[in-house]
Structure 1
Amino acid sequence: MSMEGIYPVREGGDIFASDMVNVEAASEIVDIYEDATILITGSTGYLGKMFLEKLLRACPKVKKIYLLLRPKKGKEIAKRFEEIFEGPSMVPLKIANPKYLEKVAIINGDCSLPEVGIEDQDKQKIIEEVNFVIHCAATVRFDEKLKIAARINVRAVSDLLKIARQMKHLKGFLHVSTAYSNCHVKTIDESFYKPGISANHLLEIVEMLDEEILENVTPGLLGKWPNSYVFTKCVAEDLIKHESRNLPVAVLRPSIVIASVSEPVAGWIDNFYGATGVFLGAAIGLLRSLNGDKKNVAEMIPADYVINAGLAALWETACNKALNDNVESNEAEAENGNKNDEIPIYNVVSSPESPITWDLFTKLGETHAPKIPSDFQVWHYCFALRPNRIHHLIAVFLLHTVPAYLVDFLCYCVGKKPMMVKGYEKINKFMEVVGYFALREWKFYNKNVQKLWQKMSQEDRRLFQFSMNNFDWDNYFHYYSRGMRVYLLKDPLDTIPKGRIKYWKLFFGHYTLIAILLFLFYKFLSVLWSFLF
């Protein structure tokens, strides 16, 4: 397979940010997945696809990977399965392991249905064969209806744990949560926190009440949690605490997930969520204000570090299970420091070792984005973080709403479909969600993650990098900005000369408009002064 043009975020022919995996080198983590059967949920999502790709590429001796899939938006399961392996993120896998499809199979299922929609025959297959479960499936929409969020983010976890308890050869179960599941507290350690309601009680309520009544009582149920996503994630964690005793379960809590550092390709990103949407929206001139405090820490983590930490956490969980299985007495157990009822939690966050503030995030964007201007830019960069709510709303009205109505009016006059007003309604709604996290700051601890890193061999640290110690944010943003341009805007780097021309046109247009507005304002003040005095 030709690699030309596949990795356009890197220059000078250096297409990989890290070496290809050396399967001949000794790796305890790779070894734990040899001849293993793995079940992955959420494999069509960003993290799910990356877990799948890394396992197939770095652990080619894995026996089988089952993907829980359902039809969606008129697409059959087979089509969705094919789409998982499309695009540049899967090219390293196809080069390293051309026969990867022999290792992958589909399990028909749906996390929104009872028993995750798995038929008895497939359930029995999972019970008999699966060694590891990686549960990534979730609805990540912050404004999701509570009934849907509860079914997918809570009930599915309970159903999978019931199946896991029947698995004959289970070595590890990884539940992917979020670092903000407990955002109702300011200090977040690698421990469980009490939710506002138990899982069973929540599921009873959402199934008992009709949609209209449930929607009315949802704010009361959410309490201190800002949205249904983090609320149901917290409830799911509490469910795990109480329903996974004596199971080899680990909880992975990534913070805001951003583009990859190096794997599967440098700067890989396939969604506009969170900080990425802010960066890209500001870079192309669409986003001009965010209600946030630039002094606050912007808690975010590269996607490939999440994947590597997750696979390492599963390795540690499997090792601890093997150790516990070999314990012959309570005295030996105490000596080894292992307790079956302890469920490890891993806060995969950056702030304890390499914090980045929203101010630095903005400045790095201002540094790197103009070096690769896109022809899709709609206006010159004029973004600012505004901690004052009133100032932000004024800026949104003047810089988002007014221009949107003007552009739509011009489109209407020339017979084109107006879209800007509706577009900015969505953008402003998205910014309200992000603004909650940009206005606040949390203190995170990740001792379990740091201990896990220290426990790993040098080869495993090379293959499964996730330590944020002395992380180079400036170098990262070099590829982050290019990844967004190439993979989200679908604008290859060879169009930079064209983008640069547009950049300067918008630059002069922007400041010409400012000069005209200042002149008109000056004339208005002059007339007003003459009239009054």
Structure 2
Amino acid sequence: MEESSIAEFYKGRSVFITGATGFMGKVLVEKLLRSCPGVDKLYLLMRPSKGKDVSTRLREFTENQVFENLRNEHPEQLEKIAAVAGDVTFPGFGLSSEDMQLIIDNVSIVFNSAATVKFDEELKTAVQLNVKGPRELLAICRKMKKLQAVVHVSTAFNNLDREELDEVIYPAPIDPIKLIELIDCLDDGLVRAITKELVGQCPNTYTYTKALAEQLLERECGDIPLAIVRPSIVTAAEHEPLPGWVDNLNGPTGFVSGVGKGFIRTFKINSQLVGDIVPVDYPINLMIAVGWHTAIQNRRLDKTSGIPKKIEVYNCSTGQKNPLTWEMFREIGFKYWLKYPTVEMMWYPNCSFTKNSTVHKIDQAISHYLPAYALDLVARLTGKRVKWVRLYDRAHHAISCLDFFMTHQWRFVSENPIRLLDFLSEADRRTFYFDVRQIDWNTYIGTYVAGARRYILKDDPSTLPAARRNLKKLYAAKMLLRLTLLAVFFLVLSYLWQQLSSWGSTTPGEYMASDNITFLHLQSEVEKETSNQGINPYLTSGIKS
């Protein structure tokens, strides 16, 4: 059997990972332990939080469902994980002197995936995490005695003022160092006041700060062997660590889950645009392969000329290599929600797409808020908790953060991952697959829906028969409602037709005669009343009799 060059490279080497407790971080840790069994240690930067120290957080981390296969098959691998207490917003990550020395003496490969992924994050927080964090990491990396590769996780969605985004680092709209200095000397209120002006054409603080981080890394990395991986919209796993595994509602996952529940029934989106989604296992495999490739290349220095090489950038996206439109995503997803429905549905799953803001607001009012207010009214009358309008407010706020990305399209050049495949053995291509051209969207979206059902909505597979019965009931209720609304519509139409018909059956002569009789009757009544008072009615109106 052919050996894996990548697994062999990681054998006996230690890895430092930031952002390990995030969605991509968990998948990275699991993949390294399972597919690179000879790896020495994985040092995970963890921040004590909610009254828990890092040892408690580490124990909870290893109990996560993502490590299910490892716990069952190779539980000893989990013992290779070591947590170090720290915070990327602190100088030196706030590491103790002992932990700092441990990392400096032992780490060979670094994966930096720590970041705030909130699109509407405060600029000050976004700068601290997404810009200052990478700068502090470089300072630590310069001290590492065995460093061979640093892989920084960015996003394909930066520099969105361009229609085509190549695998290069673009000039930043502002000097990142000066921005850090500016943010540090201003209070939160002033930073909020100037955020819109600073961010400019960027849709949010996330994409703005991720672009600045790339510029800072290019400027300050020196001879550190550094590469950047830019995933597009990261979604549930296709195969690993578990088919359909996902642990958050970010991006399309919230939409997929909301539609399956019958909670979301309208979405502002240009359905003909390409939705550049990528299953999480693809960028993770690419990151591991990039770490290997960066290390075995000439580090950052060309040995013949001594000229520093440019940082290699890898766009991990599907739009140019294996495009999927949002309309295809909707149609396939709807098909699988009917096949694998969730148990507790609010209504029969369906969703309309529109790119028109006015139409979308009308759809929201009819499909979301009208039922929400009705349900809250019933809850108030029965003494139950009022929640539906509030839930829709929160959902709409979260969805609105995606509007820009769902109504625009970019061309992400993604050639470097394809070129990298040429360096991989057949064994490595199978184990560390990242060729997005191989994704079968019909099969994957079925996996995605099943994953959202199991891991987000927490539906056990055994509940599927009951869910299908509920789906049939909701379909009957949907058709009954349609028939009722249709009947009401025809009754109103019939009534209006009768009124128009009765008006239309009167001839013009009859109508005028009827009108004249009424006028003469009123005139007679007025004359009678005014004559009793000795008043000439025509003089009162200024008309001669």
- The alignment's TM-score, normalised by the length of structure 1, stands at 0.91
Alignment of 1:297-376 (within 5 A): 297-321=274-298, 324=301, 327=303, 329-330=304-305, 340-376=308-344
Alignment of 1:115-264 (within 5 A): 115-264=92-241
Deviation of 1:97 after TM superposition, in Å, equals: 2.4
Deviation of 1:530 after TM superposition, in Å, equals: 5.5
Deviations 1:338-367 (A, max 9, x none): x52310011011122211000100011011
Could you tell which deviates more after superposition, 200-209 or 494-503? 200-209
Structure 1 outlier segments of 4+, above 4 Å: 322-325, 525-533
Give the letter for the 1:104 counterpart: I
**Gap runs ≥5 in structure 1:** 1-23, 334-338
Aligned equivalent of 1:380:
348
Give the letter for the 1:401 counterpart: Y
| Counterpart among 426, 434, 449 of residue 466 in structure 1 | 434
SS at match of 2:120: coil
| Counterpart among 237, 247, 257 of residue 270 in structure 1 | 247
Counterparts of 1:244 and 1:92, CA distance in 2: 38
Aligned equivalent of 2:540:
none
Deviations 1:134-165 (A, max 9, x none): 11111111111111111011101000011111
Aligned equivalent of 2:481:
513
SS at match of 1:166: coil
SS at match of 2:315: strand
Give the letter for the 1:377 counterpart: M
Aligned equivalent of 2:50:
73
Whether 2:466 is the aligned partner of 1:498: answer yes
Decide whether aligned partners of structure 1 residues 323 and 210 sit closer, same or farther in structure 2, where only a CA change above 3 A counts: closer
Counterparts of 1:171 and 1:478, CA distance in 2: 40
Contact kept in structure 2, 1:286 and 1:379, CA below 8 Å: yes
Whether 2:363 is the aligned partner of 1:395: answer yes
| Counterpart among 92, 100, 109 of residue 86 in structure 2 | 109
Counterparts of 2:73 and 2:369, CA distance in 1: 50
Deviation of 1:523 after TM superposition, in Å, equals: 3.4
Give the letter for the 2:381 counterpart: C
Contact kept in structure 2, 1:43 and 1:84, CA below 8 Å: no
Deviation of 1:65 after TM superposition, in Å, equals: 0.9
Deviation of 1:98 after TM superposition, in Å, equals: 2.0
Deviations 1:235-281 (A, max 9, x none): 11111111112211111100111111111111111111111111111
Alignment of 1:447-458 (within 5 A): 447-458=415-426
Contact kept in structure 2, 1:60 and 1:97, CA below 8 Å: no
Aligned equivalent of 1:444:
412
Counterparts of 1:529 and 1:114, CA distance in 2: 78
Deviations 1:180-222 (A, max 9, x none): 0222221111111122222112212222221222112111111
Give the letter for the 1:482 counterpart: A
Decide whether aligned partners of structure 1 residues 431 and 161 sit closer, same or farther in structure 2, where only a CA change above 3 A counts: same
Give the letter for the 2:18 counterpart: T
SS at match of 1:157: helix
Aligned equivalent of 2:259:
282
After superposition, the CA RMSD in angstroms is 1.7
SS at match of 1:155: helix
Deviation of 1:324 after TM superposition, in Å, equals: 4.8
Give the letter for the 2:161 counterpart: H
Give the letter for the 1:437 counterpart: F
| Counterpart among 39, 44, 47 of residue 62 in structure 1 | 39
Decide whether aligned partners of structure 1 residues 323 and 231 sit closer, same or farther in structure 2, where only a CA change above 3 A counts: closer
Counterparts of 1:128 and 1:87, CA distance in 2: 30
SS at match of 1:99: helix
Counterparts of 2:156 and 2:270, CA distance in 1: 20
Counterparts of 2:424 and 2:301, CA distance in 1: 20
SS at match of 1:239: helix
Counterparts of 1:193 and 1:528, CA distance in 2: 64
| Counterpart among 365, 384, 404 of residue 416 in structure 1 | 384
Contact kept in structure 1, 2:218 and 2:311, CA below 8 Å: yes
Aligned equivalent of 2:24:
47
Counterparts of 1:197 and 1:324, CA distance in 2: 28
Counterparts of 1:346 and 1:47, CA distance in 2: 16
- The alignment's TM-score, normalised by the length of structure 2, stands at 0.89
SS at match of 1:347: strand
Counterparts of 2:83 and 2:210, CA distance in 1: 26
Could you tell which deviates more after superposition, 135-144 or 85-94? 85-94
SS at match of 2:308: coil
SS at match of 2:466: helix
Aligned equivalent of 2:395:
427
Whether 2:453 is the aligned partner of 1:485: answer yes
SS at match of 2:78: helix
SS at match of 1:455: coil
Deviations 1:320-349 (A, max 9, x none): 135958x3x32xx7xxxxx52310011011
Could you tell which deviates more after superposition, 459-468 or 395-404? 395-404
**Gap runs ≥5 in structure 2:** 504-545
SS at match of 1:411: helix
Contact kept in structure 1, 2:156 and 2:316, CA below 8 Å: yes
Could you tell which deviates more after superposition, 374-383 or 48-57? 374-383
Counterparts of 2:484 and 2:178, CA distance in 1: 61
Decide whether aligned partners of structure 1 residues 204 and 506 sit closer, same or farther in structure 2, where only a CA change above 3 A counts: same
Deviation of 1:113 after TM superposition, in Å, equals: 2.4
SS at match of 1:221: helix
Larger Rg: 2
Counterparts of 1:428 and 1:125, CA distance in 2: 46
Counterparts of 1:31 and 1:271, CA distance in 2: 33
Contact kept in structure 1, 2:14 and 2:106, CA below 8 Å: yes
Counterparts of 1:176 and 1:220, CA distance in 2: 26
SS at match of 2:227: strand
Deviation of 1:229 after TM superposition, in Å, equals: 1.0
Give the letter for the 2:380 counterpart: Y
Counterparts of 2:301 and 2:196, CA distance in 1: 43
Could you tell which deviates more after superposition, 469-478 or 480-489? 469-478
Percent pairwise identity: 36
Aligned equivalent of 1:3:
none
